[in-house]
Structure 1
Amino acid sequence: MRTAGIVICGAGIVGLTLARELVRRGHSDILILDKEPDIGRHASGRNSGVLHSGVYYSPGSLRAKSCLEGNRLMREYCREHGLPIKENGKVIVTRTEAELPALLELHRRATENGALVELIDERALAEIEPLARTVGQALRVPQTAVVDPKAILAQLRRELTDSGKVQFLFMARFTGRPGPRQAETTAGRVSYGFFINAAGAHCDRVAHAFGVGRNYRLVPFKGIYRKLSGPRADLVHGSIYPVPDIRNPFLGVHFTRGVHDDVYLGPTAIPAFGRENYGILTGVDGEAPSILWRDTVLFAKNPKFRAVALEEPRKYFFRHFFNDARKLVKELDPADVVPTHKAGIRPQLVDLGTHELVMDFLVERDRESLHVLNAISPAFTSSLFFARMLADEHLERPGEPAAKGL
């Protein structure tokens, strides 16, 4: 049996940054488990690479508290280690006059959260993003940046390995908790002093093994992308986002110029049938019937989910995806939009009691474990600061996790 002072389940951005923070605070016996052969194989390595800047999140929420400072820390991390970063900003545009009140609400939220934002007119928008169109006003968000998520993950792994205080155990899927301070994995049994669940799309399963978070289940949403090619791609300087429906945690199909100068369109938010259902059938497993049942219940009881479930699957078809993207720009030709294999899964938590999508990060703990649930966007942006928040609240002294909760 392997032993460690602290075991972290999940080698994505939350698990890696939390391990880094613990090392900085004096912890020296950390084991990171992951069911894959390498780090960041799912949401952390498949996202758009956008560093968000606190626009969308309800003031006072964990997402709001951690996003801006996380943005700053991640920028500094990239500069310190020579990692790719483009600080090219973002605009949020309105497609109809009816979206103007929601745009003003985003401006209010962003201002209250401390973000640097500016309401601009159509003329100013044309100078910033020549291809973008808006009705009346748009919101300029200069603190938004783009990074290479895989490069950041790789640097974190090097840093943790070089510390000599962190080990990795890959191909080790968590399968259960056979006894106090023990975890069963496909690579054998592990004993620990404290267990941290940063398992992303499988966080609810791990939490339930500890008797934690039983009232929550995960519902996966698939994000598919396409790519902008040809001369119109040169007219996208940063990111062009629509005004989202702020009742749901999805931001809508948008244009983003990445650090390697590819311009992507997406992602969608299509209800998926598996936690790793990246293709049509790829990743669909024996859990599909129960996921379909959860979707059916949500469809019946949650009008906001019902709107997503009726609209988003249509974007599998090029015409509907294209028509959605075309509303954000002055001109777009079908030949400009080409396929790509890029796809991701948003592991969205649902409260079974209220049938609502959980809109914030969720953290629960017991005496021997801490569970990071619902690490949805902006989890990558927030991660370095979020790790500090978790350590402050739960892991204050080396070798002696704090007993209090959030």
Structure 2
Amino acid sequence: MTLPHAGTAEIGIIGGGIVGIALARALSQDGAGEVTVLEKEGRLAQHQTGNNSGVVHAGLYYKPGSLKATLCAAGRVSIREFCEQKGLPYREVGKLVVAVDETELDALAEIERRSIANGVPDLARIDDVARLREIEPHVAGIAAVHSPHTAAVDYVAITDAMAQDVRAAGGRILLHSEVTGIRLENGRVRVITPLGEHAFDRVIACAGLQSDIVAHLVGADPSPKILPFRGEYWELAPERTDLVRGMIYPVPDPRFPFLGVHFTRGVYDNVHVGPNAVPALSREGYTWLQISVKDTWESVRWPGAWPLAKQHWRMGVDEISGSLIKPLYFQKARRFVPELKMSDLEHKSAAGVRAQAWGRTGELLDDFAVDQVGPVTVLRNAPSPAATSSIAIARYLLDHYLTPTG
């Protein structure tokens, strides 16, 4: 499905996170048509974009040849260039992926292999403990891979700067415009919001936590469904942030879909510890007290719920325990920085909710996924590193789904 002739199309984008705004910017600047973004909140980047650790990933973990790997590599360069162009902060603080003991060396070697295949710049394998301590003086471990160009940014500021470009190119961004209905009429797409209806030639949904709901509105396959996972961060006390120079990550356990607790220095020099990964009781459940019976029931009754629980229940119990019992969370973190004290975890900072797509048989989708229903394109899964890859994702959608004709 292609757009009408360039400059004549009316294009609607559902979702005002960084991916939706990056796409709006690309379409507006390419002169593809009149672009309108519909965002349900009162500001942009309120959910996944505005509640993450701010890391610009270099591509260490992803399966070589996957969309995640390809888009991350291109996106990292694009985000850096955008920040330079706009005068936004971009700090290459570096990432150290640390093997604490010999049982993790094989998995570390796999990370090294993938990093090399993915073209991670200036990657270094470190087997000398003294060299580890030069990079991170307080770290514990026997080996690591070091990615010196992994960076930290402010993704909300980047989204706002992209939005300025959209408006400057003639695009519209409408807030408080939650999409409640979508109808296909005579080759056009009628989108219904509380503030009125809009008619478009094409619609692209970059709706994150709501992506399966939007897919349902257009009659797409119910799978994959979104399972919200909350990631909770603790923040190091300001006087103890010198325990971490850059970013300290664990070697991921291939049996589990999440990385585990790590240390991340942000672009404004705060240091986060986390996140964990606990099932959220609401699509936008940033605390245990935010509960949606509807969202929870839909997750429980999904065919993939039992297979997923059967496979990962131990991890679930461990993550939930760490969420509710601070000493357990502390012990996970202290494994990498033995000098850490319980009091150094000063307070829980804002949590994020990850839109994890899962299928009917309980499988967790690990790569980007796109559905096409007539003139509506739905980004069904945009996992980390979606923020890093946002400009590259926009170009991918433009090239593969929205190429103008004639």
Range of TM-score over shorter length: over 0.9
Confirm or deny: 8 A CA contact 2:99 2:143 kept in the other structure. yes
Which of 317, 328, 337 is the equivalent residue of 1:320?
328
Unaligned runs of 5+ in 1: 402-406
Q: CA deviation at 1:149?
A: 1.2
Which of 355, 368, 383 is the equivalent residue of 1:376?
383
What does the per-residue CA deviation read over 1:19-52, in whole Å, with 9 as the maximum and x for residues that have no partner? 1111222123011001101111100111110000
Which shows bigger deviation, 181-190 or 7-16?
Answer: 181-190
Q: CA deviation at 1:286?
A: 2.7
In structure 2, distance between residues paired with 1:41 and 1:72? 24
In structure 2, distance between residues paired with 1:178 and 1:50? 38
In structure 1, distance between residues paired with 2:256 and 2:368? 14
1:162 is matched with which residue?
168
| Residue 73 to residue 301, structure 1, CA distance change in 2 (3 Å) | closer
Q: CA deviation at 1:303?
A: 4.8
Q: CA deviation at 1:215?
A: 2.2
Unaligned runs of 5+ in 2: 1-7
Which of 220, 223, 248 is the equivalent residue of 2:231?
223
Counterpart check, 1:105 vs 2:103: no
User: Given the two structures, how large is their TM-score scaled by the length of structure 2?
Assistant: 0.92
Counterpart check, 1:256 vs 2:264: yes
1:329 is matched with which residue?
337
In structure 1, distance between residues paired with 2:308 and 2:242? 44
Sequence identity (%): 39
- Work out the number of aligned pairs and report it: 393
| Residue 245 to residue 71, structure 1, CA distance change in 2 (3 Å) | same
Name the aligned partner's letter for residue 323 of structure 1.
Answer: Q
What does the per-residue CA deviation read over 1:54-99, in whole Å, with 9 as the maximum and x for residues that have no partner? 1111111110111011111101111111111211110001233211
Counterpart check, 1:145 vs 2:151: yes
| Residue 7 to residue 247, structure 1, CA distance change in 2 (3 Å) | farther
User: Given the two structures, how large is their TM-score scaled by the length of structure 1?
Assistant: 0.92
2:93 is matched with which residue?
88
Counterpart check, 1:79 vs 2:84: yes
Counterpart check, 1:279 vs 2:279: no
In structure 2, distance between residues paired with 1:323 and 1:107? 27
Counterpart check, 1:240 vs 2:248: yes
Name the aligned partner's letter for residue 249 of structure 1.
Answer: P
1:404 is matched with which residue?
none
In structure 2, distance between residues paired with 1:131 and 1:293? 46
Which of 354, 359, 370 is the equivalent residue of 1:363?
370
Counterpart check, 1:124 vs 2:131: yes
Q: CA deviation at 1:148?
A: 0.8
Counterpart check, 1:50 vs 2:55: yes
What does the per-residue CA deviation read over 1:263-313, in whole Å, with 9 as the maximum and x for residues that have no partner? 11111111111110001222535322222344x953545654323312111
Q: Which runs of 4+ in 1 moved over 6 A?
A: none
Q: CA deviation at 1:229?
A: 1.6
| Residue 160 to residue 297, structure 1, CA distance change in 2 (3 Å) | closer
- Alpha-carbon RMSD across the aligned residues, in angstroms, is 1.8
Confirm or deny: 8 A CA contact 1:299 1:305 kept in the other structure. no
| Residue 192 to residue 247, structure 1, CA distance change in 2 (3 Å) | farther
Confirm or deny: 8 A CA contact 2:100 2:143 kept in the other structure. no
In structure 2, distance between residues paired with 1:46 and 1:283? 19
Which of 181, 199, 205 is the equivalent residue of 1:197?
205
Which shows bigger deviation, 192-201 or 383-392?
Answer: 383-392
Which of 55, 60, 66 is the equivalent residue of 2:65?
60
Confirm or deny: 8 A CA contact 1:132 1:330 kept in the other structure. yes
In structure 2, distance between residues paired with 1:251 and 1:310? 16
Q: CA deviation at 1:379?
A: 0.0
